[in-house]
Amino acid sequence: MFYTVTLNPSIDYTVTLSELVCGITNRTRSENFSVGGKGINVSLVLAELGIESTALGFAAGFTGEELLRQIASPLVHKDFIMLRSGSTRINVKIKAGSETEINGAGAVPCEEELDCLLNRLDILKDGDTLVLAGSVPSALNEDTYERFLERVSGRNVRTVVDACGKLLLRTLSYRPFLIKPNRQELEEIFGVTFSSQNEIPCYAGKLQKMGARNVIVSLGGDGAYLLDENGRLHFRCAMKGTAVSTVGAGDSMTAGFIAGYEREGDYAAAFALGTACGAATAFSEGLARCDEIDSLYQSLCSYEQEVLA
């Protein structure tokens, strides 16, 4: 079974305008509400791939109730803790030529509520996969994800961490199966600025030496690297298509990778499915749909990926 954890989910309110002008009343061309949160996105894309998962996390207030209502897939089992105070955040995404985001802070769980969620992990067993993805409420400590991995340590649980900074670094001693920083996050972790993307594999290797088993570094329109635990470096160019929105593309790549590895037990195949899922979302208004994923995956399978080492 796959389990995802989203500690700071959201209702995403996306508006499209011809132009955004500060200081005046702007009127939208279109509006859309959707659920947000990296772990939830992973569960929803897994569902498109025909895979069941349990989505864990926190929700609060009337926005939290709406969040849970909108997670409607029968393949996503919702196991959220409703917090006693606060409201699930609303994130505003403005499309007006470029994309602008205004993200809310979100509700803050108390220690008792966090412990309650940690207790839910006791049902995980050997062979399960646990995905920790996204930000945590600002009042929680940088050891939050570390506590989740500590809770499942000693069991053969495949763990995935998609976070940044110290939140990510503190989990590496638990040897997560997969981490997926993007280029900017990798630069921030090591305090460097890459002059060429050829420098990136070296720093992916540093993260691997610190404990990560597999490292994907996503480069947006420039493709992605995978340094697998066998020491092989893979690279895939970005797929050709018209990008509509990058929101959720990285989460979709994560879902595709873990689904592909579960099915095939092969990192090249997992990377291909992850690439197809990420592209399918980037080319869509919302998250990728199964037919879009399949079409792109089939086109990827028609030629070899580049294995650099």
pTM: 0.92
User: Do the beta carbons of residue 20 and residue 96 sit within 8 Å?
Assistant: yes
Q: Which residues contact 236 (CB under 8 A, 6 or more apart)?
A: 223, 224, 226, 271, 272, 275, 300, 305, 306
Alpha carbon of residue 231 to chain centroid: 24
Per-residue burial over 244-269, b if 16 or more Cβ lie within 10 Å, else e, is ebebbbbbbbbbbbbbbbbeeeebbb
Alpha-carbon distance of 255 to 147, in angstroms, equals 23
SS3 state at 31: strand
Please give the domain boundaries of the chain with CATH numbers for all domains: 2-307 (3.40.1190.20)
Alpha-carbon distance of 132 to 171, in angstroms, equals 10
Looking up tokens 């594999």, which residue turns up?
201
User: What are the respective helix, strand and coil percentages of the chain, to the nearest 5?
Assistant: 40, 25, 40
Alpha-carbon distance of 32 to 15, in angstroms, equals 7
User: Do the beta carbons of residue 189 and residue 166 sit within 8 Å?
Assistant: no
Per-residue confidence in pLDDT tens, the chain, 309 aa: 999 999 999 999 989 999 999 999 999 999 888 898 999 999 999 999 999 999 999 999 999 999 999 999 999 999 999 999 999 999 998 988 888 889 888 899 999 999 999 999 999 999 999 999 998 988 888 899 999 999 999 899 999 999 999 999 999 999 999 999 999 999 999 999 998 889 999 999 999 999 999 999 999 888 999 999 999 999 998 888 877 778 889 999 999 999 999 999 999 999 999 999 999 999 888 898 999 999 898 887 755 555 555
Phi/psi of residue 80, nearest 5 degrees: -95, 145
Alpha-carbon distance of 61 to 52, in angstroms, equals 27
Residues carrying an active site annotation: 251
